[in-house]
Structures are given as C-alpha cells and as structure tokens.
Amino acid sequence: KQEVTQIPAALSVPEGENLVLNCSFTDSAIYNLQWFRQDPGKGLTSLLLIQSSQREQTSGRLNASLDKSSGRSTLYIAASQPGDSATYLCAVSTSGSRLTFGEGTQLTVNP
Amino acid sequence: GAVVSQHPSWVICKSGTSVKIECRSLDFQATTMFWYRQFPKQSLMLMATSNEGSKATYEQGVEKDKFLINHASLTLSTLTVTSAHPEDSSFYICSVRTSGRLAGNEQYFGPGTRLTVT
C-alpha cells in the first residue's frame, strides 16, 4: 500500500525567503507525482505534474524535483510571498489515475 | 487545465436526510471522475471512481449504498449522501482526470462542497 509523507507539517517563514517542502513515498513504482496548493476551505489547485520519467518541472518561482528510486520529491519556492501562504499537498499516482495524498505542509509567509 | 465546478459549495442538512452534490467538467469530456473526502486538518481520501455509463468503483471501507454515485454524462457526476449523519460532515471534492488532448493524466479538482449534518 502506497504511503505518502510530507515534512514539515507546518512552516513559517519571512517574506522573501527561499524554501523547500519535502515529500516521500513508499512505493517507487509510480506513474506520476503532482503538487497541489489548497487555500482554507477551497479545492485544490494543481501546481506541477512530474511524470515518472522526468526529474523536475518548473513553473515561475516553483521547481519540483523527483527522485523515484529513493521515493522523494521536493517543491522549491523561490522568493516567497505572503500570497504563497496555503497548504501544499503532494500526491502520487501508481496506476495513472488513483492518487494517494500526503498530509500536507501548511505554509505561512509573513510580511 | 480542465475547469471543474461543484454545486452546492456548502450545504447544511438534518440527520436522516439525503444530499446530492454535483460535479461538472465545464470544458472537458471526462469519462472518469473521482470523489474525495477531506476531514478537518486531514488530507484527501479517495472514496470512489466514477465511470461514465457504468457503475462506480468504491474504495475499501466506503459504503456504496450510502454514497450513491451517478455518472450519466461525460460532463456530470453526482454524489448522493443518503440518510446523512453528523459523522458524514466533511469536505467533498471531485476531480477529473485528463488524457488525450491534455496529456499526462493530470487531475484537476473542483472547489469542493462543505457538508454539515446537524
């Protein structure tokens, strides 16, 4: 059974800092890995999708890496802003459709 | 990406009543939609996979007679919580999986429905 763990559970940083969120998974036979953002009481916004054959994806200030063999992914956020405050969820797909989610990292960026 | 809507965004109902939640894929024909449940301070848990024109596939521990799923068209799936109880109070989120035109099997999520059972 796939298990996804995210560390840290919560993170508070001053505006402008670069930061890294971590995600690990137990079954390396994944189809892809997705990072999402969730604002309080809202649905999920897809940030980045990394296919199993890829090592990283970039979108603006976000960079996600994937090391499938070690079962790890990181989400790097550059020059953090207060608007980045949200919960970040990592999810892996082992069959091309079914997603297993981590517990999330609650990020607070202080002005 | 695909645009997904849910209705209602929130609902309060009395214990014992049934509630229907709609999930619509606005710009994409989805043969497969997914229903998730999220309790406070917890992550999303997959409840069932909704397949257009056929029966839904439920995850272990999810009662199919309690959570009725209908996927009658390529753009609409409904989740009906029957005989709701306070422990069913949760945040219900649907998603669609893209393939073909939007390759990569990426999932796009609706805004969620907050259900409170009193």
- B16: how many CB neighbours lie within 10 A of its CB? 10
Burial level of B41, CB count in 10 A (0-12/13-18/19+)? exposed
What is the per-residue pLDDT for B12?
97
> What are the φ/ψ torsions at residue A83 (nearest 5 degrees)?
-70, -10
CB A17 within 8 A of CB A85: no
B109, closest residue in chain A (CA to CA): A44
Q: Would you place residue B1 in the very low, low, confident or very high pLDDT band (cuts 50, 70, 90)?
A: low
Q: Among residues of chain B, what percentage have pLDDT more than 90?
A: 65
Name every chain B residue with its beta carbon within 8 A of the beta carbon of A49: 104, 106
- Among the partner residues B34, B45, B93, nearest to A43 by beta-carbon distance: B93
What is the per-residue pLDDT for B40?
86
**Residue B101 pLDDT exceeds 50:** no
What is the per-residue pLDDT for B74?
86
Tell me which range, A11-15, A37-41, A90-94, is most confidently predicted by mean pLDDT.
Answer: A11-15
Token couple for B83: 């005989």
Question: Is B74 within 8 Å of chain A by CB?
Answer: no
What is the per-residue pLDDT for B102?
45
Left if phi > 0, otherwise alpha if psi is -120 to 50, otherwise beta: which for A52?
A: alpha
Q: For testing the chain B interface, which of A2, A36, A46, A93 should be mutated: the one with the most B CBs within 10 Å?
A: A46
The DSSP result for A61-82, as a single string, is TEEEEEETTTTEEEEEE-S--G
Q: Among residues of chain B, what percentage have pLDDT more than 70?
A: 92
CA atoms within 13 A on the CB side of B86: 1
Question: Is B108 within 8 Å of chain A by CB?
Answer: yes
B92, closest residue in chain A (CA to CA): A43
Distance between CA atoms of B100 and B30, rounded to whole angstroms? 11
Question: Is A45 within 8 Å of chain B by CB?
Answer: yes
CB B47 within 8 A of CB B36: yes
**Residue A96 pLDDT exceeds 90:** no
